[in-house]
Structure 1
Amino acid sequence: MPDSPLKYSFFKRNGLTLFFLALFIITLVAQAFTGWKQNNQEIQEKGGQALTFGAYLGSGHFFSATFENFQSEFLQMGMYVLCTVGLRQIGSAESKSMEGEEEVDREPKPGPDAPFAVRKGGWLLWVYSNSLSLCFLGLFLLSWAGHLYGSFTNHNDEQMLMHKPQEDLLTYLSEPEFWFETFQNWQSEFLSIVSIVFLTIYLRQKGSPESKPVDAPHMETGK
């Protein structure tokens, strides 16, 4: 029988999530504050009126910068989850074995401790079986829309400051600005995936579940 999780403190049970959630909040606040200062500097240089911090949080500049990063991260994680189902990399700690099925490939079986969707079966089971990738897809689409809204709004705000006519959404999408912002983030996420997949063939970190054991052969695939 596995140990009861209640024997551990709240932080012990949730330490990884809480640590990175705290870093996320700290860096988001820092981004908002520094973005506010930078944006006001640019506005005043163009003869505009500086924004209050509250107004900045609803501005296109803040939305664009924030969701531009969110959508690339959700794209990265969603594609990683899906691609590791069928694709392999010999020797990588991030890949399934080259042959045969693994524990994650087994067909779900109803049981008293199984999640509700497994016990219910049918379409609910299909959705639950793919819920991680579906969740990342939804988060990616929402973040992509948030980035588009922010980038489009910020672009028209700049047009107004320069006394130029505002553009409609289709015109803006035909220009390179939004796509440049998008692709510069996507390529960095794909590079990070390549790095973790390839480097775990030859490099190790003792104690990390993202690494093979230190004494594992280089060509041993999986953890």
Structure 2
Amino acid sequence: MKTKSNRNFFYRNGLTAVFLTLFIITLAAQALTGWNKHNQDLQEDDAPEIGFSTYLQSGHFISATFENFESEFLQMALYVLLTISLRQVGSAESKKLDEPEEVDREPKPSKDAPWAVRKGGWILKLYSNSLSICFAILFLGSWALHLYGSWQNHNIEQLAKHLPKESISAYLGQAEFWFETFQNWQSEFLSVASIVFLSIYLRQKGSPESKPVDASHMETGK
């Protein structure tokens, strides 16, 4: 029987590799189709078309890309934080209602523990919350880039309509940016609510996101 040490790279990292590959393919597809769509819009406004490399630096591409990143990172940050203390009876995505969980145990230094655990002090405290901190930073960075790209694209449209450019602070107070923002956020909140609730009653054999097929509906956790 093969042991963990002699499994091949893809077996050990397949989930990350597949999702990163899908990300690259779909990002490239988004860039190409977005470039064509943006040039169509420019033609309709009697403005000159732009090249692909120029498009990748445009507000249209930056806004569309980071608008999606932003909502995903917000979803993950909130999910990591809210699952610390909130429960959903019967859900595979919830901690158990009354039983102690491994994730709640106090970290103990050992030779195999991460460096931060062996170091202790404020470094351990930071490391103990590093996942939510990382997602929060990624969310804020994506939100800022979404705002920047959307503002840049808005001003391009303003010029095409022979209207004056607007400052970023003025644009931030307009409905357009917040419409883009909330239409993505609400879909992420719905997707999380769906996996939390549907995993109470539905199963997927072999998936760690599901309870065992023969588990009771009211059994909470995996």
Length-normalised TM-score, structure 1: 0.98
Structure-to-structure mapping, 1:1-223, within 5 angstroms: 5-223=4-222
Deviations, residues 94-118 of structure 1 (Å, cap 9, x unaligned) = 0001113200000000000000000
Equivalent-residue separation in structure 2 for 1:80 and 1:199 (angstroms): 16
Equivalent-residue separation in structure 2 for 1:78 and 1:103 (angstroms): 20
Equivalent-residue separation in structure 2 for 1:84 and 1:100 (angstroms): 15
The amino acid that maps onto 1:43 is L
The amino acid that maps onto 1:159 is Q
The amino acid that maps onto 2:216 is P
Structure 2 counterpart SS, 1:19:
helix
Greater displacement, 169-178 / 57-66: 169-178
Equivalent-residue separation in structure 2 for 1:78 and 1:101 (angstroms): 23
The amino acid that maps onto 1:123 is W
Equivalent-residue separation in structure 2 for 1:109 and 1:27 (angstroms): 42
| Residue 6 of structure 1, CA deviation | 3.0
The amino acid that maps onto 2:41 is E
RMSD: 0.9
Structure 1 counterpart SS, 2:219:
coil
Equivalent-residue separation in structure 2 for 1:193 and 1:81 (angstroms): 11
Equivalent-residue separation in structure 2 for 1:204 and 1:4 (angstroms): 29
Structure 2 counterpart SS, 1:100:
coil
Equivalent-residue separation in structure 2 for 1:199 and 1:72 (angstroms): 21
> What percentage of residue pairs aligned between the two structures are identical?
68
Equivalent-residue separation in structure 1 for 2:99 and 2:211 (angstroms): 19
Change (3 A) 1:26 1:197: same
The amino acid that maps onto 1:176 is A
Structure 2 counterpart SS, 1:205:
coil
The amino acid that maps onto 1:206 is K
Equivalent-residue separation in structure 2 for 1:210 and 1:55 (angstroms): 41
Equivalent-residue separation in structure 1 for 2:22 and 2:113 (angstroms): 33
Structure 2 counterpart SS, 1:96:
coil
Equivalent-residue separation in structure 2 for 1:5 and 1:143 (angstroms): 37
Length-normalised TM-score, structure 2: 0.98
The amino acid that maps onto 2:133 is L
| Residue 170 of structure 1, CA deviation | 1.3
Equivalent-residue separation in structure 1 for 2:143 and 2:176 (angstroms): 14
